[in-house]
Amino acid sequence: MDHQNLRQEPRQESRQELWIDRTRCDGHRLCAELLPEWIALDDWGYPIIAPGAVPDHLLDHARRAVAACPVLALKLNPI
């Protein structure tokens, strides 16, 4: 058996983007506290999400922000 063929390639994260359901969002601001590098707040405290794929080094933080949203308004979508 050739063990070299059994080596796994380094795992690459799939490209994902943050999406917000604006009809659910109540402006709790928790997402911006957990992911300030990617989510800003408007003048009324509602999130403004940076466009495009979330960088790999921020994906864990993005997942925490999604999980912590009290009204389930955030979602990570594959792109």
The pLDDT-based confidence of 32 (bands split at 50, 70, 90) is very high
Q: Is 69 exposed, middle or buried (0-12, 13-18, 19+ CB in 10 A)?
A: buried
Q: What is the structure's pLDDT at 10?
A: 41
Question: pLDDT tens, 39-78?
Answer: 999 999 999 999 999 999 999 999 999 999 999 999 999 9
Amino acid at 50: A
Global confidence as pTM:
0.79
The pLDDT-based confidence of 9 (bands split at 50, 70, 90) is very low
Nearest residue to 74 via CA among 57, 62, 61: 62
5 HSE (CA, 13 A, CB side): 2
| 4, 9, 27, 63 from 16: Cα distances, Å | 31, 20, 23, 10
Q: What is the structure's pLDDT at 12?
A: 52
Q: What is the structure's pLDDT at 14?
A: 81
Q: What is the structure's pLDDT at 4?
A: 54
